[in-house]
Structures are given as C-alpha cells and as structure tokens.
Amino acid sequence: MPKAFRHAAIVGKFQARGIAPVLEEIAHFLAGRGLEVFFERDTAQAMGATATGRHGSTARVGDVGGIGGYEALTPEELGRRCEIAIVVGGDGTMLGFAREMARFHVPLVGINAGRLGFITDIPLERYKESLAPILAGDYEEEHRSMLEGGVWRQSNGVAECIYEGLSLNDVVVSRGGTAGMVELRVDVDDDFVANLRADGLIVSTPTGSTAYALSAGGPILHPAIGGWVVVPIASHTLSNRPIVLPDAGEVKIGIVAGKDVSASFDMHNLASLLHGDQIRVRRSAHQVRFLHPRGWSYYATLRRKLRWYEGGV
C-alpha cells in the first residue's frame, strides 16, 4: 500500500523540560517510514537549532537519531509543504498550532505529553502503534468548527474593527483582575438577548465546551453539533444560565459598564476595552482536521479525561 503521507511537520511544547529527545525520537520514527520531516521553527530553535537562512526563516536541527538534519520552517511554510502535522504536547500546544494550520487544511495528530489532553489524545508511550496505521492511511478523521471575530469600536460615528481573532476553543470577555463586575449586552444577529452583570461571558465551540466553559458550569457539546454554548461567568443574577445557540448566527457582546475589560480569543488578549466596544463572534470558514487511530471514540475520551468510570467497563 502506498504511503498516505510523504511530508510531515513536527511541533512540540518546546518550553517543556526534556521534550527534545522525545521530538527527536518521533522524527526518527517518521523518517524511518519514508516521510520527509520538517520541524516548526520555534520548536527547532528551542532544541538548539542554528539559523542558516539570510533572513532567519530556515534552520537546521543537528543530527537527529543518527540521520541527516531536518529543515525548520515557519508555520506558513509547513502549511504549504506538509500533508500531516504531529503535535506533541498538551491541548494548549495543539490550540496554537491548529489555528495556524486551519487555513491550509493540514490534518493534525495529537500526542499527549501534557496533562489533560482532550485534543492531544494519543498517549506518548503508545505513539508508535498509533501513528504507524495513520501514516499508512488507516485512521478516523473528524472536523472541528472554529470561531472568528473581532472587536469593534465607534470612531466619529463609524464602527471600526480594531482587533481580529480566530479560536478553536472560545472567546472570553472578562473583567480586570482587581475590578468589579462587568455589565454586558448580548445580541444574536439583530435580536436582543439580555443584559447581564457578571465576571464575564464565554462563547465556546463544541471543542471548547470541555475547557473554560465547563469549569464555569456550561454543558458539554458533542463536536458534531453545529452550535455554540454561551456561558456567563459568576453571574450576579442566578437566572442568567448557559444557553446553546445555533452556529449560523453572529453573537454580539457590548461593553456597557466595567473597568479593565478584556477580550480573549483562545488566550490571545486584547485588554482595556472601552464602554461601547462590541465583540462580534461568528463561525469561521475554516475547520480543524484531526486524525485519530481507528476505533477512536469521543465518548471514550470523555470517560478517561473526566473519570466517568462508575458503572461501566
């Protein structure tokens, strides 16, 4: 059977102590199966790469596992040259790289070298037996929806976009660390939904429903559901409850009152929002492609990660 993939990218949680030997081992494993291997540039630099390009855009990782050096590329270069990307780390590592790869439609495989690992689901100790069939074209594929949007501000009577962001998990509007509650106006398209006073508000994808939204009391959404979950954070009024919305509309969050309000797109913050600013969130045209070992189950992931063991096998 011909190889399903010929060019592979590797990105790792390069801040993690001791990750370099793991990444080198995985690179050797991929190369041993006939793939041309590239490292993400920041990962390579953290492993001790030295820049060789005039403008610092390419680098070489020194001899890895007894084979030749691997070229190090920017995320954009990886997106254009690779057919698969191996992400080694935790969900935070995957979130950052998934946003970079979504517009290139490069499928991602997550190897969990972090803690929780909802979207980096292959245990590090079993990566060989999990990766080998995937590389040969035997895998489960799923697509995850994303959020995109921005912050709009009135200037001379005209609304201007001052910030744009893309999220796989969520968009969070929240108060400053030392400030009191914020007051937010929520609209969906042209329909007014509510004014609420709270510590903030989360607009989450199904992927992000097991992250901050879950901690704030929101429901879990299956990734196949075309919807968002909107979750108040510590609302002043107990009747302000989480709500699941179809993802066809645009959610608008206006800043009515509060100090040091910020908007976060997958942890990328725009701080010091002003009264009258509006955060607009909609479904992105891009999706993230995940590849899983054959037999992968979302419900099994929930059982393992949330420890739903009671009463089951």
Q: Which residues are catalytic?
A: 91
CB-CB contact of 277 with 269 (8 Å): no
Residue of 192, 203, 140, 201 whose CA lies nearest to 168? 203
Angle between helices 127-135 and 19-32 (to 10 degrees): 40
Identity at 236, one-letter amino acid code: H
- Measured distance CA(281)–CA(284) in Å, rounded: 9
Q: Which helix (H) or strand (E) holds 291?
A: strand 278-292
CB-CB contact of 215 with 155 (8 Å): no
CB-CB contact of 221 with 227 (8 Å): yes
DSSP tag of 114:
S
Q: What is the DSSP string of 135-204?
A: HTT--EEEEEEEEEEEEEEEETTEEEEEEEEEESSEEEEE--TT---EEEEEEETTEEEEEEEESEEEEE
- What is the dihedral sign for C-alpha 264, 269, 273, 276? negative
DSSP tag of 67:
B
Q: Which helix (H) or strand (E) holds 278?
A: strand 278-292
- Measured distance CA(207)–CA(278) in Å, rounded: 24
The residue assigned the tokens 């196949």 is 224
